[in-house]
Amino acid sequence: MTKMEIRGVSKTFRARGGETVALEPCDLSIAKGEFVTVVGPSGCGKSTLMMIAAGLEAPSSGEVLVDGRPAGPAGPRRSVVFQRFALFPSETVAQNIGFGLRVAGLPREECEQRIAEQLELMGLKQFRDAYPHELSGGMQQRVAIARALAVRPEILLMDEPFGALDAQTRTVLQEEVSRLQRELHYTVLFITHSVEEAVYLSDRVIVMSRGPGRILREIAVPRDAAWRGVDIEQAGDDPAFMQAKREIWDLIRGQIVRH
C-alpha cells in the first residue's frame, strides 16, 4: 500500500540574478513500512526533495500525497531528523524528547509514558536529566531521533542524520536505525551521501542526477538479503552487498565526471 507519493514535484529558486532549477519533475512512491534512501552527487537536489516531502518547502510544481490525499504543511504525521541535532540547549533530554508532545497538547501522563518509551528504546534512560552540552554528538542525535519518534509519526524523514558524526559513532547509529526499522517498520525517506549506508539501511535506493536533480534509477535491495541484522562491517563483506554498492557508485561517479 502506498503511504507517500511525490508526484511531478519540481523546484526552481528565484533571485535577482535569475532562476536556478534545483529539481526537475520527480515521481516517487513509498510503500507503508518501506525504507527508501536517496543518494546522488552534491547539489543534486536530494535535500530539496526531502524538504518538500516534509512540507517544509513548497514545490514549484507537483504535489505530495499521504494516503492518497494532499499532505499539506509540516505536521506530526511527518517527523524530520536533520544533520544538526537542533536540540533546545536549556532543556533536558526528557524535555527535548517531549517537546512535540507538549505542542500537540497531550495529557501529562501520556507525555511521560511516551518519553519513558523513547528513553528505553534509544538507550537514554541514564541521561534523562542531562542537558545537550553534556552529551556526545552521537547521544545528541539519539535524542533528536527519540524526539521525532515520540509523536508516533506515520512517516519519518531523515536528512543526512549521521553526517556530522565521527566514523565510529556513525556506524553505531546506522546499526541502531537498522534495528529500529526491523522492529517498528516505519515508513522512512532517508537522505545520505554514503552509498554503503544506503545499501545497508534501505529497501530501495533512489539515485539522482547532478543538478538540476532528477531520478536516474531505482535499485531494490532485497528484504531477505543475507546482511540484514548483522553489523555493517560484516554486511560489507557480502558479495551481493558489494555488487549493489558498486552499481550505485558507478551511477553517481558517472554524474560527477559528466561534462
Which triple of cell numbers denotes residue 241?
552487498
DSSP 122-165: TT-GGGTT--GGGS-HHHHHHHHHHHHHHT--SEEEEESTTTTS
Task: Say whether pLDDT at 135 is over 70.
Answer: yes
Rounded Cα–Cα distance for residues 188 and 164 (Å)? 20
pLDDT band at 165 (very low <50, low <70, confident <90, very high): confident
> What confidence score (pLDDT) does residue 229 get?
81
Lowest mean pLDDT among 13-22, 196-205, 241-250: 13-22
Q: Per-residue pLDDT tens for 45-57?
A: 999 999 999 999 9
> What confidence score (pLDDT) does residue 183 get?
87
Task: Say whether pLDDT at 259 is over 70.
Answer: no
CA torsion 152→183→53→170, rounded to 10°? 110
Q: Per-residue pLDDT tens for 66-105?
A: 999 999 988 889 999 988 878 999 999 999 999 999 998 9
CATH 3.40.50.300 is the classification of domain 2-77+154-257:
yes
Which triple of cell numbers denotes residue 80?
524530520
Percent over 70 (pLDDT), the chain: 99
pLDDT band at 211 (very low <50, low <70, confident <90, very high): confident
Q: List the domain boundaries for the chain.
A: 2-77+154-257, 88-152
Which triple of cell numbers denotes residue 100?
512535540
CA–CA distances in Å: residue 43 to residues 47, 57, 61, 84, 213: 9, 17, 19, 18, 8
- R_g of the chain computed on alpha carbons: 18
> What confidence score (pLDDT) does residue 258 get?
66
Of 169, 235, 159, the closest CA to residue 199 belongs to 235
Q: Per-residue pLDDT tens for 2-21?
A: 999 999 999 999 877 788 99
Give the side-chain half-sphere CA count within 13 A for 212. Answer: 13
- Report the interhelical angle of 167-184 vs 137-150 (nearest 10°): 20
